[in-house]
Amino acid sequence: MIDTTQIQKLQIEDREYETFFTKKFAGRRHYHPPDPRKILCVIPGVILKIHVHPGKKVLRNDPLLVLEAMKMENIILSPADGRIKAVNVEIGKMVPKGTVLVELE
């Protein structure tokens, strides 16, 4: 017989179904809209160079920093025109994926 103590509710269209969740579904991440002012690290690596400092004005595609990952130097460019609010990394430090590298105002 079905062990009903672990049963969950899943809404499809306008009906709630009684069912079990898969581990993958239970562990899914809720969506957060990206913040275009926060420049995220997409691959873990080491910061080689920092071209900007807080308060500096930047244009779209200006280099912000150089991140070494997978034996390649990746130049991180500004996604938009603006002024630097914060630089959250240091030269020579390892940064994990998902870190906010630089914030624009």
Partner 1 sequence: MSSSTLKHLEFVKRSARALKGGGDKAIEKQIAMGKLTARDRINALMDAHSFHEYDLFVEHRCRDFDMDKKVLPGDGVITGTGTLSGQGVCIYAQDFTVAGGSLGLMHARKITKIMDHAIKMGLPIIGINDSGGARIQEGVDSLAGYGEIFYRNTSASGVVPQISVILGPCAGGAVYSPALTDFVFVVDQISKMFITGPEVIKTVLGEEISMEDLGGARVHTEISGNAHFFARNEVECFHQIKKLMTFLPGNNTKRPIPHAPAPPKPKFNIEQIIPAEPSKPYDVRDIIKAVCDNSDFFEIQERWAANIVIGFARLNGETIGVVGNQPLVLAGVLDVDSSDKAARFIRFCNAFSIPLVTFVDLPGYLPGVDQEHAGVIRHGAKILYAYSEATVPKITVILRKAYGGGYIAMCSRHLRADFVFAWPTAEIAVMGPEGAANIIFRNEIANAPDPAAMRKQKVAEYTQKFANPYVAAAAGHVDAVILPTDTRKFLLHAIQISKQKTESRPRKKHGIPPF
Applying CB under 8 A, the residues found at the interface with partner 1 are 2, 7, 10, 12-25, 28-29, 31, 43-44, 69-70, 94, 96-97
Instruction: Write out the two tokens for 12.
Output: 């499809």
User: Least Å distance between CB 2 and partner 1?
Assistant: 6
Residue identified by tokens 């579904």 is 25
SS3 4: helix
Instruction: Write out the two tokens for 15.
Output: 């009906």
Nearer to partner 1, 55 or 92 (CB): 92
* Residue 98 and residue 40 in contact, taking contact as beta carbons nearer than 8 Å: yes
Nearer to partner 1, 46 or 66 (CB): 46
User: Least Å distance between CB 36 and partner 1?
Assistant: 18
